[in-house]
Chain A
Amino acid sequence: MKALLLARVNAGAVAVLAVLTLSACLLVGGLPRAMQASFDDALRKDLRAAGADQIDLTVRYEPRGGDSGISSHEQFTQFDKAFRDELPPALSRIVTPPGAGTSHLSLKSVNTPMVGTTTKFLNVGWLSNGDRQVTWVEGRAPAATKDNVMEIGVARTAVGGQMGFALGATYRIGATDPTTVKVVGVFEPKRAEDPYWRHNQEFLQINEVVRPGAADADLYYTALIDASSLPALQDSDRRVVYAWIMGVEPGQVGTQGFDGLLDAMDDFTRELGLISPSFSPYVLDTRLKAVLESFMDELATAQTILYLLLGGLLVVALGVAALATQLVTERLDPTLSLMRARGGSLARITWTGTSVIALATLPAALIGYGLSYLVPGGTTPIVHLAPALVPLTALAFAAVRQANAHRSPLNERRGDVASPRPSARRVTLEILVIGLALGGAYMVRSRGLATDVATQGQDPFLLLVPVALTLAAALITLRCYPYPLRLVVRLASRGRPAVPFLGLTRAARARSFSTLPVLILLPALAVAVFASVISTGLTRTQTLAAWQAAGAPITMRTDLEYDAAAIERIKQVPGVETVVPAQTGRVQLGIGTQKLEIIAIDLAAYRDLAKDSPLDLPAPPTGDGIPALVSPDLRDRPKLDIGWQSRMTLTPKGEIASVPGFFHGSMFALVPFDANERAGTRTAVNALLIKGDADVAALTAAAKVDSRVTTYAQRHAAIVEDPLTEMIQLALLVVTLALAAYAIVAVIVSLVISAADRAAALSFLRTLGLSTGQAQRLTVLEVSPLIVITALVGLGLGLGLPAALGPGIDLSSYAGDLAVDPTDPDLLTPILLGVGLTVVAILGALVHTTITRRRTLGSVLRVGD
């Protein structure tokens, strides 16, 4: 018997299996790719945000009293090559070639005082590709040192001003044996924002450094010299630092091979130590390792959640693949039984049946796996492994099932008479799963899911705990649900109508609805509910965090004042609905040096403005004098004497945890808007809280004073538009939808599988006088109890999982550093999921009886013969 023919004959079931396999492979292959892409994006974003000076590998060398041996560009370059040769492969892959990106060489003198001053320092420095980075706007580029006069170029920002440099002027620098330098050119950087300049800010601006105890700041500037002046610095008395900067290309760094990268940095530091001259070491100066390590901490939680979701999805996908395989093998059963009876060997029968499954799953899995490559992202072992597991599970399930079914000559047991008793092996396995799940849950609660992930990696055992918990719950449900149902059956048996009794009896026998759908339905629902709880909690907390940070849809602040006319103009800007003025200040507390942040605002008006937001603002302070709401640390003070526009005394009347958009933490107070007037001066508005959707440019134009504008939208975007946050939200959405879909598929497929059985039973009952309506009610009563119970348990488990995992999952870094509270979930989505599934299942049962009704009784009665 050709497998192809069998597949063609059972095209419907085979197509269902193929589609499910394809979708499962696409999901479990694509999701890790997308996850990997988001991890890499987040890492690169962090690296770029840290800045080139932080992440580039800089080898510094300060010869102390010895000869550096570097007197020319060529020698400098030779050293660069030598250092690069020492780079381990993991590092050499991520650094840009010499001269490209931010890679360059530099020599700078350090703390070179200007003769005749005590607070001005003029260093000189050479940059290997400085000529390409600057434009000479006055004079010319410096040339070689002539007649003991070193030519230098200075930035336009350093001309005049505090340092007082001028084109053509000469200065003497150095404490011993001073060098004469002459300004021959003035330059501007071609692109000041180029990461190159992050290493060389001292060439572009004057640094002010206040030494402890000094009245005035010291001024530092570094001027540009030509390569031909290098020998002049090599053997002078100046303190100089040579630097070989090997630029790191963030695009080349990925989260894969993270550990290798950290090890490589240690190796490189060690190598530098080995080749350093005896008198002074080569020092690797970079914060790359610190940036990577801090990112790993942030990544750990994201990885935990995503792997958790992926694990749940994989388990459910495998279950659904097995269920669809069961559908196909049930369809093949008559043919294979006949083949077996006519002399087919067990191996032949198993091979034929399994070949049909292979025909359905292998091409589909390959296509799904191939399609997953359309999802942009990196390739990790799980990208290959997870899609391979789907067809392998289906094939193994089919092979074992068929070998088992056709092994004995004839089935001794009659399934319609008594349900088979579970084997000891199976009971032991179930107890093992339940025990492991409970033990794991205890461990998760006691040590958390993401603990030590940064240093020790994900713990696969703990990651499996939530999935094992749902499986354990499914097993317990399967074993225990008939007992309460039998009680109901007893009650129903006393009643006159036959349908409830019959339906519930059939349901309590658990024959019509097999184990597999429950094992799929419960984890699917639990993980989907878990995902939706986390997702809604995250969304809500992100909104709250954005409100906390912004304070209002639009907040305007100025160092000057918004007068009444300005406020009026701002009110007229299209889109502005409400404007709440406020005055903020940093005031003296008592008569000491303690400072207090203060805001004078009409809290009632603010509450009105923020009434649609998740902000929880207290009632305005009331009372005589100047009542105030104060930060928790000031709560116990009976009076606060402050110096604002005039001296005034505040009476704390309550506590406020934070003033959204302004202060949080400690040492702040909120007073009525007219506090200054009550103290005898006037209110000078310097902050505006605006409700509405107005153009920021129009607002600043209307204000006519220099303003800083922050909006809720900006703050929200800053929190939400993080690659990891976006990925978590996307993964939560995809997994919720996929699992809901799988749960529905599981219900429908199992209805189809048990259709023949049920049709026969109903037909026999119809010959005894069962009406169509009764048949429908009977089917619904038969199918729904287990689905309703499973849905309820799944719902409860999904709602309980976030609380059970408790501190194991810290989502605060994806919600603007506010803790996400999973114990107060939004119940709408989970309940919709549960109810939706139950309704689909019951509708499926109804449709099924309607279809059965169309067939003639005679033909139905022969179903299954």
Chain B
Amino acid sequence: MEQTLSELENQASQEKAAFGGDAHIVCDNLVRIYKTEGVEVVALQGLDLLIDKGELVAIVGASGSGKSTLLNVLSGLDVPTAGLARVAGIDLLAMTARDRLRYRRDVVGFIWQQTARNLLPYLTARENVELPLRLAGKRGRAQRSRSLLDLLGVDYCADRKPAEMSGGEQQRVAIAVALANSPQLILADEPTGELDSETSGLVFEALRTANKELGVTVVIVTHDSLVSEQVGRTIGIRDGRTSSETLRRDGEHAQEYAVLDRVGRLQLPRDFTNALNMERRVRLELESDHIGVWPSSPKEETGE
């Protein structure tokens, strides 16, 4: 049916709901390119991501897929080359140096893989937790640090220096440090990467506690299946794009979904395409309740 000019005009002036709506974290077509002498490395190639407030999400992917770059962008430590990145309504691409500082002070907290990198070796656990509060010039430091260490079950480490703590204890104190400024979002880059499975469990439990008790959104980049299999949503990243999502609901079996981007692209899992020998072209057929994907027949391939 042909549209009249006035109908088209009316349609154009209508406000569309923005991508992601009021999601807590919104990444739309995010691109990050590193430049070294004459060589460009595209770490993120148009990544889309939506995470709601209070979610506990794991991000998985092979080495070099762009997980850490995404985390650096979300933490405000890195600036994307193009696209949209919004956290708690703040546009990460339009931030001034002052905004960035405020963002790090009030919105986000993070945890690195290396236990030693999270904490200053010559400060006690309590002093480490108080450091972000001190930097932001906030009051009630002692009380806050005590309650956080208590919440994460490492109150007995308060007066110990990192060297006197186990790896698990150090990471839990690091979580307390990340939570010190009451951020809305916690980003953790392989927080259990250096730990054994038992200790990993404790650290993950601490993150889950922070998520449940304090309502903080938690994004964990991980290789650890122990972690990725216990969160409600696991997002897979491949070649700088979100490729799959695995959802788990209480009592249900995990269900893996492919991600359909805004222009309708999706990545078929490699296992599927290999099994049916799909290469170059596939045939699509729209049915009433699904879309069928067929490998192109040899006849079609040869053009007969």
Task: Tell me which residues across on chain A come within 8 A of B77, comparing CB atoms.
Answer: 341, 409-410
The total of Cβ contacts below 8 Å across the A-B interface reads 59
Shortest distance between the CB of A340 and any CB in chain B (Å): 8
Encode contact with B along A320-343: 1 for CB under 8 Å, 0 otherwise: 000000000000001100110111
19 CB < 8 A contacts A-B: A1-B134, A5-B123, A338-B117, A341-B104, A342-B177, A343-B135, A343-B136, A344-B135, A409-B79, A409-B100, A410-B72, A410-B77, A412-B34, A412-B35, A413-B36, A421-B37, A862-B114, A862-B116, A865-B116
Shortest distance between the CB of A404 and any CB in chain B (Å): 14
Q: In the bound complex, what is the Cα–Cα distance between A346 and B97 (angstroms)?
A: 9
B200 part of interface (Cβ distance < 8 Å) = no
The 8 Å CB contact of B122, one of A9, A412, A865, is A9
Task: Tell me which residues across on chain A come within 8 A of B100, comparing CB atoms.
Answer: 409
Shortest distance between the CB of B154 and any CB in chain A (Å): 18
Q: In the bound complex, what is the Cα–Cα distance between A862 and B75 (angstroms)?
A: 24
- Across the interface, name the chain A residue whose C-beta is closest to B78: A410
Contacts beyond the supplied A9-B122, A407-B97, A865-B114: 10 A-B pairs with Cβ under 8 Å: A334-B117, A341-B110, A342-B104, A342-B135, A343-B132, A343-B135, A343-B136, A409-B78, A410-B72, A413-B36
Q: Is the CB of B76 within 8 A of A409?
A: yes
Encode contact with A along B100-132: 1 for CB under 8 Å, 0 otherwise: 110011000010001011101011000000011
A239 part of interface (Cβ distance < 8 Å) = no
Task: Tell me which residues across on chain B come within 8 A of A342, comparing CB atoms.
Answer: 104, 131-132, 135, 177
In chain B, residues 134-153, which have Cβ atoms closer than 8 Å to a Cβ of chain A? 134-136
B181 part of interface (Cβ distance < 8 Å) = yes
A146 part of interface (Cβ distance < 8 Å) = no
A418 part of interface (Cβ distance < 8 Å) = yes
- Across the interface, name the chain B residue whose C-beta is closest to A6: B122
Task: Tell me which residues across on chain B come within 8 A of A334, comparing CB atoms.
Answer: 117
Interface residue range, chain B: 20 to 34
In chain A, residues 1-15, which have Cβ atoms closer than 8 Å to a Cβ of chain B? 1, 5, 9
With A339-B131, A409-B100 in contact, is A417–B78 under 8 Å at CB? Answer: no
Q: In the bound complex, what is the Cα–Cα distance between A409 and B79 (angstroms)?
A: 8
Q: Is the CB of A418 within 8 A of B122?
A: no
Q: In the bound complex, what is the Cα–Cα distance between A407 and B181 (angstroms)?
A: 22
Q: Is the CB of B36 within 8 A of A343?
A: no
Task: Tell me which residues across on chain B come within 8 A of A345, comparing CB atoms.
Answer: 101, 135
Shortest distance between the CB of A345 and any CB in chain B (Å): 5
In chain A, residues 270-324, which have Cβ atoms closer than 8 Å to a Cβ of chain B? none
Q: Is the CB of B117 within 8 A of A348?
A: no
Q: In the bound complex, what is the Cα–Cα distance between A414 and B132 (angstroms)?
A: 28
Q: In the bound complex, what is the Cα–Cα distance between A5 and B114 (angstroms)?
A: 23
Most buried by B among A341, A342, A409, A413: A342
Q: In the bound complex, what is the Cα–Cα distance between A342 and B79 (angstroms)?
A: 17
Q: In the bound complex, what is the Cα–Cα distance between A343 and B101 (angstroms)?
A: 6
Shortest distance between the CB of B38 and any CB in chain A (Å): 8
With A342-B135, A343-B181, A414-B36 in contact, is A5–B78 under 8 Å at CB? Answer: no
Q: In the bound complex, what is the Cα–Cα distance between A679 and B136 (angstroms)?
A: 109
Q: Is the CB of B76 within 8 A of A339?
A: no
Q: Is the CB of B117 within 8 A of A343?
A: no
- Across the interface, name the chain B residue whose C-beta is closest to A352: B135
Q: In the bound complex, what is the Cα–Cα distance between A410 and B132 (angstroms)?
A: 19
With A338-B120, A344-B135 in contact, is A417–B105 under 8 Å at CB? Answer: no
Task: Tell me which residues across on chain A come within 8 A of B35, comparing CB atoms.
Answer: 412
- Across the interface, name the chain B residue whose C-beta is closest to A407: B97
Shortest distance between the CB of B77 and any CB in chain A (Å): 5
Q: In the bound complex, what is the Cα–Cα distance between A9 and B127 (angstroms)?
A: 15
- Across the interface, name the chain B residue whose C-beta is closest to A343: B105
Task: Tell me which residues across on chain A come within 8 A of B72, comparing CB atoms.
Answer: 410
Chain A to chain B: the 7 pairs with minimum beta-carbon distance, closest first:
A343-B105, A418-B37, A342-B132, A9-B122, A344-B135, A410-B78, A343-B104
With A5-B122, A342-B132, A348-B135 in contact, is A865–B101 under 8 Å at CB? Answer: no
Task: Tell me which residues across on chain B come within 8 A of A421, comparing CB atoms.
Answer: 37
Shortest distance between the CB of B268 and any CB in chain A (Å): 34
Task: Tell me which residues across on chain A come within 8 A of B118, comparing CB atoms.
Answer: 338
- Across the interface, name the chain B residue whose C-beta is closest to A8: B122
Task: Tell me which residues across on chain A come within 8 A of B114, comparing CB atoms.
Answer: 862, 865
Q: Is the CB of A417 within 8 A of B37?
A: yes
With A341-B104, A343-B101 in contact, is A417–B131 under 8 Å at CB? Answer: no
Q: In the bound complex, what is the Cα–Cα distance between A342 and B106 (angstroms)?
A: 10
Shortest distance between the CB of B270 and any CB in chain A (Å): 30
Q: Is the CB of B135 within 8 A of A339?
A: yes
Q: Is the CB of B36 within 8 A of A418?
A: yes
- Across the interface, name the chain B residue whose C-beta is closest to A417: B36
Shortest distance between the CB of B42 and any CB in chain A (Å): 14
Q: In the bound complex, what is the Cα–Cα distance between A345 and B120 (angstroms)?
A: 18
In chain A, residues 398-422, which have Cβ atoms closer than 8 Å to a Cβ of chain B? 407, 409-410, 412-414, 417-418, 421
Q: In the bound complex, what is the Cα–Cα distance between A345 and B132 (angstroms)?
A: 11
Encode contact with B along A142-178: 1 for CB under 8 Å, 0 otherwise: 0000000000000000000000000000000000000
Shortest distance between the CB of B30 and any CB in chain A (Å): 16
Encode contact with A along B247-277: 1 for CB under 8 Å, 0 otherwise: 0000000000000000000000000000000
Q: In the bound complex, what is the Cα–Cα distance between A339 and B136 (angstroms)?
A: 11
Task: Tell me which residues across on chain B come within 8 A of A407, comparing CB atoms.
Answer: 97
Task: Tell me which residues across on chain B come within 8 A of A412, comparing CB atoms.
Answer: 34-35
Q: In the bound complex, what is the Cα–Cα distance between A785 and B36 (angstroms)?
A: 27
Q: In the bound complex, what is the Cα–Cα distance between A276 and B34 (angstroms)?
A: 89
Task: Tell me which residues across on chain A come within 8 A of B34, comparing CB atoms.
Answer: 412
Q: In the bound complex, what is the Cα–Cα distance between A413 and B38 (angstroms)?
A: 12
Most buried by A among B36, B39, B100: B36
Q: In the bound complex, what is the Cα–Cα distance between A122 and B100 (angstroms)?
A: 102
Shortest distance between the CB of A155 and any CB in chain B (Å): 87
Q: In the bound complex, what is the Cα–Cα distance between A407 and B79 (angstroms)?
A: 13
Task: Tell me which residues across on chain A come within 8 A of B120, comparing CB atoms.
Answer: 335, 338
